[in-house]
Structure 1
Amino acid sequence: SAVPGFLSTQLPFTSSFQRIDLERQSLEECPQLDFVKELQFLNLQHNLITKIQNLSHLQQLVLLNLHDNHISDMAGIEVLRSLKILILGKNRIHEICCLDSLSKLNMLDLHDNQICRIENVSHLSELRVLNLAGNNISKMENLQGLDSLTELNLGQNCISVVTEVDRLPLLQRLFLSCNNITSFDQLACLGESCSLSELTLDGNPVALETWYKQAVLRCVLHLRQLDMKRITDEDRRMAGVQARKEEEKKKESHKQTIHKECFRVCLYVICRLVEAGSGSVQSLSLSDSHLAELDGDTLRLFGLGALEALERGWGVQTAGAVTVITFRYINFDAIVPTLPRIRVKFPNLSHMIFLETNISRLPQLAALAQVRRLDQLTIHPDGNPVVSLTLWRSFVIYRLHHFNLQRINGQEVTMNDVIAAERVFGTLGHIAATETPRCRLLLLLEESRKRQLQFLLEGRGRRAGLSPEELRDNGKLLGEGLSRALFNYPSRDCSAESPEEKTKQLFYTNLKGEALHKLWPSMFAEMVRDCVLEMRDQATFRQASLAKLSETK
């Protein structure tokens, strides 16, 4: 009978005594076969054999199949010097050993055992297939010397890093399914193989990554099959696109690193340009920790101290020419207080760029509404964690679109983007505007919004002679404005309060608490008494309640 998955060619048997099949015979030990010394094929799989013995006379044996037995030790196999195929899968073997004299071995199957280490196989220079799947192996090691190996199966083990693949010059098929490989860095060794064509990595954490297939194809250029699926031309094209993106990202990262490391040098160069009378670059503030420069219509601010340039006197013509402001290496919370001044000082500002400014939360983006009009916004991923949030772009569109925002990070804002942002945040804003108590709204909103809210709540429109339709439209527009205005950052600058003010607030809070504690028992008794008296006559109470509801409606 054939051996599933292993015997791919027919052996040249010429006699009935060259091949014996004793499968599923409940044998507890290897049988005595002294009368068939010319035996080449012996199948003893699916028995109860515990030791390899009684085989020393079989010096012509080529294939020995002991699959699915109870063998725990490989001792006894060393006498079979002519053996080419050894199948010991699904046993209880703990250690690879006793193979020193089996130099002709072509195939070794030790899957589903209890082996913890690859060892004692480096002398098998003719070995073509090695199956160690389903063991407890944690490290790929001792593979040097297997110069003929074409297939290596290490699936269902505990391997976390792929190594020594570059020491197998003829390896074509490598099976690593269901191990502990978590990152592409742990697969770097695969890129050193020039012969690998088939690979399996499914069942590893790394296979769950978004660009898993493309990353593997970038690493192993000659791969034809991944996870038992053929690699298509489209897969290779996508891998190439991703590779170019990664390369661009690395170049940008390298560029940022160079900029940081050479910051002082750049300051020196710019300073020399100013001294030389260069007309294109005007330095407004220069020190060893910050830089403010005006280049054409672009104002660049580097470092916290560069914000001081915004306080200086600006000519109307110079300020009017500024359309782009770039902030770099400045904490965004330090920029927020300057936004109202920026809006007034630079009336033609249309584009703001933030690099390394530590924008990490969505409410921070709402502060940009203070600029009022902004055509473009660029928030670089480096140093701004907020860009990694899924909804950051939708939030910016919802909060700033009515200020003529047209592009975010170079990408055009479409009507579909506006509708999607309104669907997500518009509902939230509406609930916040309708459910927040009036007193709380007055605390959160700016002065102009407070006046609008008072106008809406007190019904002044009726006294102004507006029609019901006009009142309804104005209320809708005001409601939308209030919904957006509630997404402010910060809602109130508590950090600006002096210690004396905080002490006073704490004192009056404690004083009110003590007074309420003293008055509460009598207040509670009065509340209960009033409720009981009011509901004593239930018929009258129901009529009064209905009347109140009718008036409210």
Structure 2
Amino acid sequence: MNRFSDSKERFNEPSSRPSYDQSQNQRGQTGLADAAFVVRDRKAYQEEFRDDSSTVSSTRPSRMSSRSGSSKRTVREMNQDRKLLERLDLENRQLEKVPDLRQEESLKLINLQQNRINDLTNLKYLRNLVFLDLYDNEISDLFHLQPLINLRVLMLGKNKIDRIHGLENLTKLDVLDMHSNNISELSGLTHQSSLRVLNLAGNKISQVHGLQKLESLAELNVSRNQVVNVQDLEKLPYLASVYLSYNKIAKWEDIWCLGDSVSLKELALDGNPLTFENSYRYTVLASGIKLKMLDAKRVSDEERRMASSLLKKELEKKRSEELAKKRSQRRQLAIDNVLRLWKSENRKNAAEVVSPDLSPFSGQVTVLDIGDSHLIEYWPDSKTVRLFGTESIQHVEKVLATANLGGQIHAIHLRYAAGAQFLDKLPRLRSRLPSLTTLFFG
């Protein structure tokens, strides 16, 4: 089938979709390397132009012309002329403006790449255009694109565009390629609800957000920008491919929205700081994304299992850390309460009371009993039990019996409590603590 014979059918065929694998080998290049993400093979388009209209740019056929030696024209010949009238190749003609083609209103596909065009005024006569290639020109103002209400493919790579504008009326756009320009913000795309492919590689974009209106978007390329943060992509129901290679993304939290995408199948993050971590690939796969390709490498079932196992361990570690943090906070709160209570009960000496010095105690600590105004804890490294508050004296005998640490305790340290009450209990405690040798008060 002729690639240009049926524009509607061509835009729907899978083969016209971008090929990340084919363009990966050209990643280090600029210009056409990024265009390859949007059009599978630009040269194929050029060849189609040449095959269908080898002399179209210099000897356009007259609508009334007929072949020499034939008084009647066949349907095939008329169809061929019609095709020639719909396609025009003006590549590399040193043009500085779009030529006046008001007599060619039937034009549907025009190739103007690799010229020096900076004036698009005459596009207003080409309202039937479906495909417009302006790659590698000197365009900065897009205002004169507004009359092209039937445009489906717009190629604007490698120009001098610093902002996206003038596309409000181009509601039928299917492919928009603006790679290798000077664009710094994602804006001016709120009317492109039919857009499936957006290529903004090689620009100056730092934030990817505000694309919720592109509800048909299937492929987004913002490689080789300055992206540090990505938001709202999980709201695009058909987004299958995202290319974020060679940006400044430092951690997974900066692109967390991708983990909530239900449609994403291909993701490229290579060349970002977060990929330098050893567990990067497993972290991405464990995020919940059902990826088939990550950084141009197929995701295996084994990788998914390992990522799931890693995620489980990470979650357990996080829960353990959170629990330890809560225990530490509660322990400190108990000590602070004991100190306040002790100061209130001993107002004469309150000025001399200081917070406990924990520096002699190091290593792991086990809380044996805790309340709002008491704390009993065991330090295995020094084989010491610490009691905070007078109320701890009331609980210590029962707590030590339950903990079954009798032979392991060599010292007891009492803080902010009445020593006389503790000494009354000491005979009974000694029978349970045969290794006890030292008491500390204060």
Whether 2:276 is the aligned partner of 1:208: answer yes
Name the residue aligned to 2:163: 95
Name the residue aligned to 2:108: 40
TM-score by length of 2: 0.63
TM-score by length of 1: 0.51
Classify 1:4/1:31 alpha carbon distance in 2 versus 1 (closer, same or farther; 3 Å).
farther
| CA-CA distance at 1:114 after TM superposition | 0.5
CA distances 1:251-278 after superposition (whole Å, capped 9, x unpaired)? 21122123223333942399799xxxxx
Match of 1:267 among 367, 370, 374: 370
Match of 2:135 among 64, 67, 76: 67
Paired AA for residue 249 in structure 2: I
Name the residue aligned to 1:287: 388
CA distances 1:426-467 after superposition (whole Å, capped 9, x unpaired)? xxxxxxxxxxxxxxxxxxxxxxxxxxxxxxxxxxxxxxxxxx
Whether 2:38 is the aligned partner of 1:6: answer yes
Runs of 4+ displaced beyond 3 Å: 1-14, 268-273, 288-294, 297-306, 312-320
The answer to whether the 8 Å contact 2:386/2:413 transfers is no
Match of 2:315 among 247, 270, 274: 247
Match of 2:248 among 143, 164, 180: 180
| CA-CA distance at 1:229 after TM superposition | 0.8
Whether 2:187 is the aligned partner of 1:107: answer no
Name the residue aligned to 1:296: 404
Supply the RMSD in Å over aligned alpha carbons: 3.8
Classify 1:124/1:272 alpha carbon distance in 2 versus 1 (closer, same or farther; 3 Å).
closer
The answer to whether the 8 Å contact 2:106/2:126 transfers is yes
Indicate the SS of the match to 1:248.
Answer: helix
Classify 1:4/1:96 alpha carbon distance in 2 versus 1 (closer, same or farther; 3 Å).
same
The answer to whether the 8 Å contact 1:290/1:302 transfers is no
Q: CA–CA distance in 1 between the matches of 2:412 and 2:113?
A: 75
The answer to which structure, 1 or 2, has the higher relative contact order (CA under 8 A, 6+ apart) is 2
The answer to whether the 8 Å contact 2:163/2:185 transfers is yes
Indicate the SS of the match to 1:24.
Answer: coil
Which has the larger Rg?
1
Classify 1:249/1:21 alpha carbon distance in 2 versus 1 (closer, same or farther; 3 Å).
same
CA distances 1:133-159 after superposition (whole Å, capped 9, x unpaired)? 111111122212111000011111111
Q: CA–CA distance in 2 between the matches of 1:148 and 1:105?
A: 11
Indicate the SS of the match to 1:267.
Answer: strand
Classify 1:284/1:154 alpha carbon distance in 2 versus 1 (closer, same or farther; 3 Å).
closer
The answer to whether the 8 Å contact 2:190/2:211 transfers is yes
Give the total of aligned pairs.
312
Alignment of 1:299-338 (within 5 A): 299=408, 318-319=433-434
Classify 1:297/1:66 alpha carbon distance in 2 versus 1 (closer, same or farther; 3 Å).
same
Paired AA for residue 388 in structure 2: S
The answer to whether the 8 Å contact 1:111/1:134 transfers is yes
Q: CA–CA distance in 2 between the matches of 1:290 and 1:113?
A: 73
| CA-CA distance at 1:289 after TM superposition | 11
Classify 1:54/1:42 alpha carbon distance in 2 versus 1 (closer, same or farther; 3 Å).
same
CA distances 1:303-326 after superposition (whole Å, capped 9, x unpaired)? 9868xx9xx999699456x9xxxx
Name the residue aligned to 1:164: 232
Paired AA for residue 214 in structure 2: L
Match of 2:119 among 40, 45, 51: 51
Classify 1:237/1:319 alpha carbon distance in 2 versus 1 (closer, same or farther; 3 Å).
farther
The answer to whether the 8 Å contact 1:267/1:286 transfers is no
Alignment of 1:443-522 (within 5 A): none
* Paired-residue identity, %: 35
Indicate the SS of the match to 1:210.
Answer: coil
More helix, by proportion: 1
